[in-house]
Amino acid sequence: MLYKIEVENLNAWFGSKHVLKNINMKIKEKAVTAVIGPSGCGKTTFIRCLNRMHEIVPHAKVSGKVLFNGMDIYDEDVDPVQIRRKMGMVFQKPNPFPMMSIYDNVAAGLKLNGIRNKEKLDSIVEQSLKMAILWDEVKDELNKSGASLSGGQQQRLCIARALAVQPEIILMDEPCSALDPMATAKIEGLIRTLTAEYTVIIVTHNMQQAARVSDYTAFLYLGELVEYEATTNIFENPKSELTEKYITGEFG
Amino acid sequence: MKNSGKSSFFIKNLNAKARKISKKYLTGDRAFKFLTAAFASSIFIILGLMVYELIKESQLSIQKFGIGFLIGTKWDPAISQVFGALPLILGTLVTSAIALLIGVPISLGVGLALSEFTPKRFGFAISFLVELLAAIPSVIYGLWGIFILIPFLRNNIYPHLQTMFGFIPLFSGPIYGGGVLTGGIILAIMIIPTVSAISRDVFSAVPDTQREAAISLGATKWETAKTVISYSKSGVIGAIILGLGRAIGETMAITMVIGNKFQVLPKSLFDSWYTMSAIIANEFTEATYDLYVSALIEVGLVLFFITLIVNVLARLIVWRSLRLTRGIARE
Amino acid sequence: MNNYVVRKIKDRLMLIFIFLALVVALIPLFSILGEVIINGSSSVSIDFLTQPTPTVGEAGGGVANAIQGTLLTIGLSSLIGVPIGLMSGIFLSEYGGAKLSTSVRFFNDVLAGFPSIVVGIFGYTLIVLSIGFSVIAAAFALAIIMIPIVTRTTEEALKLVPATVREAAIALGVPQWKTTVSVILSNAKKGIATGILLALARVAGESAPVLVTMGYWRWWFAGLDKPVANLALDIYTFAISPFENWRALGWGSALILVLLILGISMVVRLFTREKY
């Protein structure tokens, strides 16, 4: 099976703080990879390095390579704008555009890319909302503001918005941490269905979620990759003592 | 450790004393509150008295001309003693509109530059400079306008404008340097500090998560900035209306460059014209008879009401927008 | 991707425009200040600062009477404007929740945005019609302009006093109004003082209300019921005159006024590192 992303010697800094130390990882295509670890271990920084969002913060620095479809996204000639288009991102707190309708939220990325044809927009919006398991709930209210939905619905709207531009990878940064259990369950179910088309990388502080949802799990601790295995192996047979301690809840 | 009997007596005594003292102090407090409230309420008296006096002293003119004053186009203090303010109202509105057309895009650019594209260190210095612009008195703008801006425009800009667009009547006609367009330009410069400062504040209040959402979709820096602007739409509109309020009320700078010519419409952008504030400044001290003064005061009354409406509108919109932005961010 | 290239070009163009906007916004500032300094400094001399305005056609002379008059006028206006503004600011900050407060604040903001010439007309109708063109009338009009500024800055300065200071005073058993007057006001001294300075700087530069309440005056102070000379108004009168030496005086006056106002503004800025 193909590797969608290959991370080579990735290092990241916030000013002088060395947040990621020499990460090497190969992420499998069309699978869900979870990134777990205690607070401050660098997992959010890690996925933000994958779509070049880390560097927009002042005094942030990155070194190393991230090969996406064989090409290093940190190469000098690469435009981050194009990379971000190919990787959808869902954030911890749902952030729909409140001044736009549900329809316009989903279509936002499409319109940016010059797609104006109403029929095409309609069909992609519907498709994306269906994939995000939100279509039935909002199909009669597409004109309502994006902020008028519940938290869980807003997050699914953000997922639909990310899906609409047909990325190859979906990055999720603790997408359920602001949601209640029912909304969380809906989104976890949704994540499993995404692997038919997409490669999903999800950061989570909830180990049970990682166990439920992912095929592979990476355990980060203090900026270093401690263990990276198939999920069943990490949870049933962790190789490192540190991993075992974290998984059994001894810290973090 | 004091024994409990003594301490409970001590506390009881304290309570009684406190009650006596608090009663006395409460009246002191109430008196102070009343005193300060009375001073604060003077604002209502001032505004109320202002309206009253303006209306009272305009009576002569209001009664003579009625509605005709607002639509009248003749201003003849010397011979027929007829006064009509329509050209003045138009002059004020047109120069203010030009000021907005030129000043608003520049102000939004400055606001964006300060909120999105400038590191904090420079931001402080640049904001300081922009605010310095606001501290310069109107009459010094006028002085600069007469001796620097007008010759500059007359020699370097207007001739080219006329070459390029002279076929449009707006850009035809003799160029002496002052006039409608120059008035609009100087007003534009004067509203930039206000509009850009408010825009900067409103843009900075947009939560970062909104920017990140746009960036993660692959938006360019400008496209992300557009998201910020549309998020703060109502705040921006409020800022623009406040700028409009300033432009409408501007007196000295505009009267020093606009030419002060009473005519229904100027022949071109390079022709002279007049505004409500300018005519008051120019003719007030020379108004020799009561009707004349009354007419000028009535112009002031009209100006008062227009400014009042514009300012109230702007404040309502800006207040509402800031509350809205914070409200959404809180979710 | 064609669309991508277009977007990139737009991005580049708009960023250039934004940078240009910044430049265009700052050019007038440097031009005005530069011209005032260059043209004004050739006028400034000892004579300039000590002599009154010369008659038309006469050489020499200065703006001493205008400096005297301006200082007198803004001094008088602060006698009225500062106490009212101060008390209003105290009311808004200490009793800010009261229903009265919202409307007071709102209308103060509204008054702050008013054309100063209309305020001048108000001064005319109230005072000039009874006493005549006079420094009292001008001071009155300028006081009204000062009030919203002092109110707002006082309120903000008082609000900045930390709650711990208030609590400490109240815990001592001091009644609230005494707390306010002694403890909090003295803590907010700097902020209040800068607010008053700002208001003074503002009215020092006002010429429109002065025009309609006093008019032009060429001599020294001659009584409260008469006008006095005014720096800002003189600039106007000199600028539109056809006389070369008066125009030079105009630039000189502008320099003095700018130094006065910008001096105050910069001092204020340095003292209050508020939101940038």
Confidence of residue B6 (pLDDT cuts 50, 70, 90): low
Range of the domain at A78: 3-247
> Is residue A87 domain-resident?
yes
Q: Regarding predicted confidence, which is higher, C36 or B25? A: C36
Contacts of A218 (CB under 8 A, 6+ apart): A25, A33, A34, A35, A36, A225, A227, A228
Please, are residues C194 and C268 in contact by the beta-carbon 8 Å criterion? yes
User: Is residue A141 a part of any domain in this protein?
Assistant: yes
Report d(CA B165, CA A53) in Å as an integer: 47
Nearest CA in chain A to B212: A53
Maximum alpha-carbon separation in chain B: 102
Domains of chain C listed by start with CATH number: 68-271 (1.10.3720.10)
Give the best residue of A113, A116, A120, A166 to mutate against chain C (max C CB count within 10 A).
A113
B68-330: what CATH class?
mainly alpha
- Would you say B294 and B61 are in contact if contact means Cβ atoms under 8 Å apart? yes
Interacting residues of B160 by C-beta distance below 8 A, sequence separation 6+ = none
Chain C residues within 8 A of A117 when measuring between CB atoms:
none
What percent of chain B lies above the pLDDT cut of 90?
A: 71
Judged by CB atoms closer than 8 Å, whether chains meet at A113 and C3 is answered as yes
Residue type at C275? Answer: K
Q: For chain B, say whether C190 makes contact (Cβ under 8 Å).
A: no
- What burial letters (b/e) apply to B75-98, b meaning 16+ CB within 10 Å? bebeeeebbbbbbbbbbbbbbbeb
Q: What percent of chain B has pLDDT over 70?
A: 89
A71 - beta bridge partners? A68
**Would you state the pLDDT for residue A136?**
93
C117, C128, C230, best to mutate vs chain B, most B CBs in 10 Å: C117
Within 10 Å of residue B106's Cβ, how many Cβ atoms?
23
Query: H helices of chain A, where?
Result: 43-50, 80-86, 102-112, 118-131, 135-138, 151-164, 181-194, 207-213, 231-236, 241-247
Contact C249, C63 (CB under 8 A): yes
Residue A252 falls inside a structural domain: no
Report the gap between the CA of C249 and the closest CA in chain B (Å): 12
Q: Which residues pair with A252 in a beta bridge?
A: none
Best residue of B122, B209, B211, B217 to probe chain A, by most A CBs closer than 10 Å: B217
Which chains have 3+ CB pairs within 8 A of C?
A, B
CA A180 to chain centre: 19
Picking from C249, C231, C262, the residue whose alpha carbon sits closest to that of residue C32 is C262
Q: Is residue A217 part of a domain?
A: yes
Which residues of chain B from 129 to 148 reach within 8 Å of chain C, CB to CB?
Answer: 129-133, 135-144, 146-148
Indicate the domain borders of chain B: 1-65, 68-330
Sheet arrangement for strand A32-36: A87-90, A169-173, A199-203, A32-36, A216-221, A224-230
How many domains is chain A built from? 1
Lowest mean pLDDT among A213-222, B127-136, B174-183, C74-83: B127-136
The residue of chain A with its CA nearest to that of B230 is A99
| A81 Cβ under 8 Å from any chain B Cβ | yes
> Are B215 and B128 a contacting pair, CB within 8 Å?
no
Q: What does the mean pLDDT of chain C come to?
A: 88
Percentage with pLDDT > 70 across chain A:
99
- Report the candidate in B133, B94, B71 with the shortest Cα–Cα distance to residue B278: B94
Structure tokens at B55: 């209306």
Asked if A85's CB is within 8 angstroms of B218's CB, the reply is: yes
Q: What does the block give as tokens for A129?
A: 């909302």
Q: What is the pLDDT of residue B26?
A: 64
Name the residue facing B284 among C28, C211, C262 (closest C-beta).
Answer: C211
C276 CB within 8 Å of a chain A CB:
no
Average pLDDT over residues B20-38: 74
* Residues B157 and B149 sit within 8 Å (Cβ to Cβ): no
Chain A residue with minimum CA distance to C2: A114
Model confidence at B252: pLDDT above 80: yes
CATH of the domain at A76: 3.40.50.300
Q: pLDDT: is C176 or A92 the higher one?
A: A92
Extended beta strands in A15-115, E state: 17-28, 32-36, 60-68, 71-72, 87-90
